[in-house]
Structure formats: C-alpha cells, structure tokens
Amino acid sequence: MFLKKKEITFGDENIVLYELSALQRADYFDFLAKKEKETEGLEGAEKDAKSMRSMVESQAWLVSRSRWHEDRDRDIDDLYDEIAQTWSMDALSEAVRAISEISGMSSSESDDDEAEDGELITLEK
C-alpha cells in the first residue's frame, strides 16, 4: 500500500489514520456536494441544525474512510456509523486535520492564518 499514515493520540487512545485514496478523495467531494444541497432553501435554526449535522456527518465520513484502510474487511458503513455515534467533536476535528494534512487537502502553512487551524479544503475553495 502506498498511502501515508499518521498516528494521533486522543485521550488515552493511539489512533492510526491513513491518507485517502484518490477515489476516496473524489467521493468525499461528491459527499460534500450532496450535503450542501440538503441545506438549500432552509433558513434560521433549521439551516443551522442541518449545517451542524452535515459537518459531523462529513467529518465522520472522512475519518471512516481513513480508518477503513487498517481493516479493509470491515463494512465501511458500519465503521462510519460507529465513528459518528461514538467520537466526540474534538476527536473528529483532530482526526480530520491530520487526514487533511497527509491527504494534501489542507492549506499550506505559509498561505494565511487559517492554515494554522488546518483548514480543510472544501468545494468552495
């Protein structure tokens, strides 16, 4: 396998994360586009709630695809559900930053202040 990997520690757990494959990366942008369409036409609290759910689901999707490389026999949807249900927002955010970095999906550190937060490249960028 040619994918990069990175180990992060969250709490007492060491977690190995893998770079997304080229196809997974394309699928991720398809997933983001689908989630963006779900918020079209919504306003106020309803839009805010849907946006928050979409963010969590997008992060869990990304982490599940990365973690799947460690156990390819595991059902990807089961892994996604487990991560979405059991990982905290902080754990998801930290994992997404690491995955984005090793997958070449985050801004370079020299670009601007946003890069220090490991900002994920989205469809709008």
Q: Give 46-59 pLDDT, tens digit per residue.
A: 999 999 999 999 99
In a domain, 124, yes or no: no
What is the C-alpha separation between 121 and 100, in angstroms, rounded?
8
- Count the neighbouring beta carbons within 10 Å of the beta carbon of residue 88: 10
- Beta strand pairing status for 5-10 and 13-18? antiparallel
In a domain, 125, yes or no: no
Q: Quick check: 8 and 95 in contact, CB under 8 A?
A: yes
| Rounded average pLDDT over 103-119 | 58
In a domain, 122, yes or no: no
Number of structural domains the chain divides into: 1
Residue 18 Ramachandran class (φ > 0 left, ψ -120 to 50 alpha, else beta): beta
Residue 24's closest CA among 124, 105, 82? 105
What is the C-alpha separation between 34 and 48, in angstroms, rounded?
17
Average pLDDT, the chain: 89
In a domain, 88, yes or no: yes
| Residue 124, pLDDT above cutoff 80 | no
In a domain, 11, yes or no: yes
In a domain, 97, yes or no: yes
Tokens of 30: 């398809």
Identify the band that residue 106 occupies on the pLDDT scale cut at 50, 70 and 90: confident
In a domain, 42, yes or no: yes
Residue 91's closest CA among 25, 5, 4, 11? 11
Tell me which residue range forms the domain holding 90: 5-117
In a domain, 17, yes or no: yes
